Amino acid sequence: MNIQAPRGTYDVLPDQSAKWQEVEQKINNLCRLYQYKEIRTPIFEHTELFQRGVGDTTDIVQKEMYTFQDRGERSLTLRPEGTASVVRSYVENKLFGMPDQPVKLFYTGPMFRYERPQAGRMRQFVQFGVEAIGSKDPAIDAEVISLAMEVYRAVGLKQLRLVINSLGDTESRVAHKKALVTHFEPSINEFCSDCQTRLEKNPLRILDCKVDRQHPLMATAPSLADYLNEESQAYFDEVQAYLSSMDIEFVVDPNLVRGLDYYNHTAFEIMSDAEGFGAITTLAGGGRYNGLVEDLGGPESPGIGFAMSIERLLLALEMEKVEIGQSNNLEVYVVATDETTKKKAFAVVRDLRLNGISADMDFAGRKVKAQMKSADRKGAAFVVVIGETELESGKVALKEMATGEQQEMAFEEIAASLLKKKSLEE
């Protein structure tokens, strides 16, 4: 029997990993510019963290968690998202005591959700996320949103749509909740059993239901926008003003509720408008979670963040036909004609690498012609052929593959010559 990767998982093979590395590099660089520092939390956590942090009534907690008992009979869960873990760590490590609030953090790593796999929806996927904890300044909301947009811009995506909404503060939400219950209660029997539970526990979740999406009461449901109190509206206005000051375009969608319980005030999603995308067009999602730090045992520390999967980012690049990941191609392939010249080739390859130039050679006993083909396949920018004549004269021709141009030089000069060319290019 052949064993395959589990459903909803996949291997990143060498021809794809360069793209991942380039994306991650751009992310790391942007986070440095914006001064978000990396945090690495465990892949699994106590199940209770997600029940309390993400919320008991969410799809994630109810249907999608990979939960297991370890040998010590603790209930553990593979993290379905990063925010709960980061907030746990913020509380546990007393990061709220650091003088520079907000604490600005980012993470990149695998998350796990038992979902029905399809294009852009995996059971193991990699999220890049940021969390800014310890500030309720609308400017930080705008900064977080702009960082998300900047990641997509940096990789070359253009067809993006930023959708924002305000979920208001507790007072606004309580008023809206009441209105929702009044609206749905008389006909709740026509809704799925999940929605019936949601009516009691978290009626806002009903608007997010995939089963009852078409029910006529959905379209006429009271909108949160009509229940925002003055303070919440003022906060939302300021976030919008900051976004506009950066010339970031956005659409306000009062129906954007997001699928996790911890949100209030600002909520946002970034969608791809690229042609050919399947049903799932959301590239990133995030929002404010004032109160979550307190819920997990810390002092009042309002937070905001977002997460995006690298898988969906790569899918969007494919749809927009943007090529990335060419930066780690081979610079020099050294061809040897026999066993004696191979020894020299081996030394040349090592010397190039010590000088910071990527170099490779044949390790499969190929003839010269086949080595040339191999160099071509590997995308080598330059080729050096070492034969008996070259060994005797101490000189080789450095051939540039793109132009066919050859330049003769001593073995010792190859690295210096290439480094000079590189510095001229830069």
**Helix ranges restricted to H, 185-266:** 193-201, 216-219, 230-245
Work out whether strand 44-46 and strand 75-78 pair parallel, antiparallel, or are unpaired. antiparallel
Q: Which is nearer to ligand HAM, 166 or 337 (CB)?
A: 166
Q: How many residues lie near ligand HAM (CB under 6 A)?
A: 27
CA distances from 39 to 42, 75, 255, 317 (A): 10, 24, 32, 27
* 242, 243, 305, 391: which one binds ligand HAM (CB under 6 A): 305
User: Does 36 participate in binding ligand HAM (rule CB under 6 A)?
Assistant: no
> What is the amino acid identity at position 390?
E
Distance CA 299, CA 6 (A): 41
Q: Which is nearer to ligand HAM, 109 or 259 (CB)?
A: 259
* 22, 24, 115, 212: which one binds ligand HAM (CB under 6 A): 115
Strand partners, 125: 111
User: Does 20 participate in binding ligand HAM (rule CB under 6 A)?
Assistant: no
User: Does 136 participate in binding ligand HAM (rule CB under 6 A)?
Assistant: no
As measured in angstroms, the least distance from the Cβ of 191 to ligand HAM is: 23
Residues 59-98 close enough to bind ligand HAM by CB under 6 A:
81-83
Beta-sheet strands, E only, within 6-144 = 37-38, 44-46, 66-69, 75-78, 103-112, 124-133
Distance CA 288, CA 305 (A): 7
* Stretch touching ligand HAM by CB under 6 A, among 170-178, 185-193, 303-311, 366-374: 303-311
Q: Which residue has the tokens 């480094």?
A: 419
* Stretch touching ligand HAM by CB under 6 A, among 10-18, 153-161, 302-310, 355-363: 302-310
On the question of a cis peptide bond just before residue 102, with omega within 30 degrees of 0, the verdict is yes
Residues 219-248 close enough to bind ligand HAM by CB under 6 A:
none
Distance CA 340, CA 53 (A): 66
Q: Which residue has the tokens 């949103």?
A: 145
Q: Which is nearer to ligand HAM, 50 or 382 (CB)?
A: 50
* 52, 88, 104, 113: which one binds ligand HAM (CB under 6 A): 113
> Residue with CB nearest ligand HAM?
305
* 127, 135, 290, 337: which one binds ligand HAM (CB under 6 A): 127
Distance CA 220, CA 198 (A): 18
As measured in angstroms, the least distance from the Cβ of 111 to ligand HAM is: 7
> What is the amino acid identity at position 228?
L
Residues 259-298 close enough to bind ligand HAM by CB under 6 A:
259-260, 282-287
Contact 242, 166 (CB under 8 A): no
Site residues (vs ligand HAM, CB under 6 A): 81-83, 113, 115, 120-122, 125, 127, 129, 131, 259-260, 282-287, 305-309, 311-312
